[in-house]
Structure 1
Amino acid sequence: MQRALRLLEAVGSHADGAPAKQLARETHLPLPTAYHLLRTLTHEGYLRRDNGVFLLGDAVGQLAGGAAQNRRSKIANSLAHWRDTIGVPVYFAVYEDGEIELVAVADTPAAPAVDEWADFRETGHAHAIGQCLLSQLDERARRDHLDRHPVQPITPYTVCDGRTLLERLEATERMQPVVERQEYALGTVCAAVPVAAGSAAAVMAISVPLHQEERLLPAVHRLRLDIGRLFGSLVFSISI
């Protein structure tokens, strides 16, 4: 299995395909073994052969889709674990292709998630998820995001302008939690924790009603302790 995956990775690194001998050399496989695996992968649809070179086949897309679905299922299960353990709504989001994507949410009727009354993608400056994601970007990427999604008042507590927000983000220590109080939704406080997800910026977040604010920091502490243990085995990609 590992040898077949190495061949798939090698083929995927060549946009115009590569011949068997080159692939065997790049993967450090004996040529007869490489030929056998390449024929099998071609028969199964993971590769196709064209003019003596091998290219990725249609089945690779299905494989990637299945892997992505498996990751999403693991994420959903982990969120449900934290929701039940900590007793608060739990969110997972990534920064993908210049936009904030809320991937999954786990909540209960007794502890509902924040209502997305204003598009999360356009209001990243106003909620903990967005602020935490933006804090993980470099200055150029932050300014590009704010050029496309300018700072605007969401509540009386929302950061007042782009310059103030950039100064706040610059002062945020990398991979540290971000806390937001009523900047996105009145009566709600939120916290977001950075998650190591390869090259992607990603966060876990929680929210509690304002009158339960004393629960927020203990919940964040519990979440940070558990994140590495439960998410360490997951392989994230930007196209999560």
Structure 2
Amino acid sequence: MPSRSLVRTEDTHFSGQQPQAVQRALGMLEAVAHLGPGTTAKEIARFAGVPPATAYRMLNLLVAEGFLVRVPDLSGFALGRRTAELARAAADTGPLPSLHDAVEELRSRTRFAIHVASFAGDRLRIVDRDPDHEIAAVGMLSKHLHANALGKVMLAYLPGVRPDPDLRRLTEFTICDPDELIRHLRAVAQGGFAHECQESRIGRAALAVPLRDRSAQVVGGLYLQGADGRVQPDDALVGFLVDGAERLTGMV
């Protein structure tokens, strides 16, 4: 009986970089899981951060192994039988905490609002809102990435995402100079967090850190929001968010 291993040295030709190949394959499976049936090869490659040529080879392998299937009109992909079998096996091992339950535990440890965003498909979308602290003008977050901490995380970590060329000024504190924004985003990537201080709304400040999947790809953001002067990028608050993000790994 032929081997059913996911990555075969003789037919994948990844120059001996099997660990990286496995990470990429898992990232592509997660792309289909997040983006849904019919996701195209181009969308999967962009989501997983995989070069298109590599993505096409690995998608063919994942289809051949039963982890993915092609949708009936052949325009995209969906999760396959073997992926469903793994999901059922994982569920049988016992209940895991849901995203909301895990975030609620974080909320119980701070007086500030905590929200969770997904970056699936290069779109910023709030997937778990703090029930006690509604986000004012939530639609502005995705429209003006340069002016809020979640958007800055997205811009800093997702190469395919670009800010609006207009860099609209929402308040007197909004960063509207392209060069200044580039420097700011580099600092976000180096420091591992983003700070927002009255840049999208007067009186509001926030911090955000990236959320990752099991293959370490950035797939969302953890957003802490409060009043200006109270939310500061100090070690304690940033550390609290970073620790919380680690607890949420693989849940978004």
Q: Is residue 195–residue 208 contact of structure 2 (8 Å, CA) maintained in 1?
A: yes
Match of 2:250, as an amino acid? Answer: V
Task: Select the residue among 166, 184, 187 that pairs with 2:203.
Answer: 187
TM-score by length of 1: 0.60
Give the 3-state SS of the residue equivalent to 1:120 in structure 2.
helix
**How many residues in Structure 1 have an aligned counterpart in Structure 2?**
182
Q: 1:215 to 1:208 in 2, by over 3 A?
A: farther
Which position in structure 1 is the counterpart of 2:121?
97
TM-score by length of 2: 0.57
Task: Select the residue among 154, 171, 188 that pairs with 1:133.
Answer: 154
Deviation per CA, 1:120-174, whole angstroms, max 9, x where unpaired? 2111110001111211133xx24xx225x63101111111233321222123344
Q: Report the Cα distance in structure 2 between the residues aligned to 1:193 and 1:169, rounded to whole angstroms.
A: 13
User: Which one is further off, 164-173 or 153-162?
Assistant: 164-173
Give the 3-state SS of the residue equivalent to 1:146 in structure 2.
coil
Q: Is residue 212–residue 250 contact of structure 2 (8 Å, CA) maintained in 1?
A: no
2:233 pairs with 1:210: no
Q: Report the Cα distance in structure 2 between the residues aligned to 1:134 and 1:15, rounded to whole angstroms.
A: 32
Q: Is residue 153–residue 209 contact of structure 2 (8 Å, CA) maintained in 1?
A: yes
Q: Is residue 117–residue 125 contact of structure 2 (8 Å, CA) maintained in 1?
A: yes
Deviation per CA, 1:68-92, whole angstroms, max 9, x where unpaired? xxxxx72111221111111211111
Deviation per CA, 1:156-208, whole angstroms, max 9, x where unpaired? 11112333212221233446111110001111110011222233342211011
Q: Is residue 135–residue 174 contact of structure 1 (8 Å, CA) maintained in 2?
A: no
Q: Report the Cα distance in structure 1 between the residues aligned to 2:235 and 2:229, rounded to whole angstroms.
A: 14
Give the 3-state SS of the residue equivalent to 2:125 in structure 1.
strand
Q: In proportion to residue count, which structure has more strand?
A: 1
Any stretches of 5+ residues in structure 1 without a counterpart? 28-45, 48-54, 68-72
Q: Is residue 136–residue 201 contact of structure 1 (8 Å, CA) maintained in 2?
A: no
Q: How does 1:12-161 map to 2 (within 5 A)?
A: 13-14=59-60, 56=80, 74-108=98-132, 112-116=133-137, 118-138=139-159, 141-142=160-161, 145-147=162-164, 150-161=166-177
Q: Report the Cα distance in structure 2 between the residues aligned to 1:220 and 1:167, rounded to whole angstroms.
A: 20
Any stretches of 5+ residues in structure 2 without a counterpart? 7-24, 30-58, 70-78, 92-96
Q: Is residue 144–residue 163 contact of structure 2 (8 Å, CA) maintained in 1?
A: no
Q: Is residue 90–residue 107 contact of structure 1 (8 Å, CA) maintained in 2?
A: no
Give the 3-state SS of the residue equivalent to 1:121 in structure 2.
helix
Q: Is residue 158–residue 218 contact of structure 2 (8 Å, CA) maintained in 1?
A: no
Match of 2:178, as an amino acid? Answer: G
Give the 3-state SS of the residue equivalent to 1:86 in structure 2.
coil
Which structure has the bigger radius of gyration?
1
Give the 3-state SS of the residue equivalent to 2:152 in structure 1.
helix
Match of 1:151, as an amino acid? Answer: L
Deviation per CA, 1:86-108, whole angstroms, max 9, x where unpaired? 12111111322232222212242
Displaced runs of 4+ in structure 1, greater than 6 A? none
Deviation per CA, 1:19-62, whole angstroms, max 9, x where unpaired? xxxx5xx99xxxxxxxxxxxxxxxxxx99xxxxxxx947x96xx
Identity among equivalent pairs (%): 16
Match of 1:189, as an amino acid? Answer: A
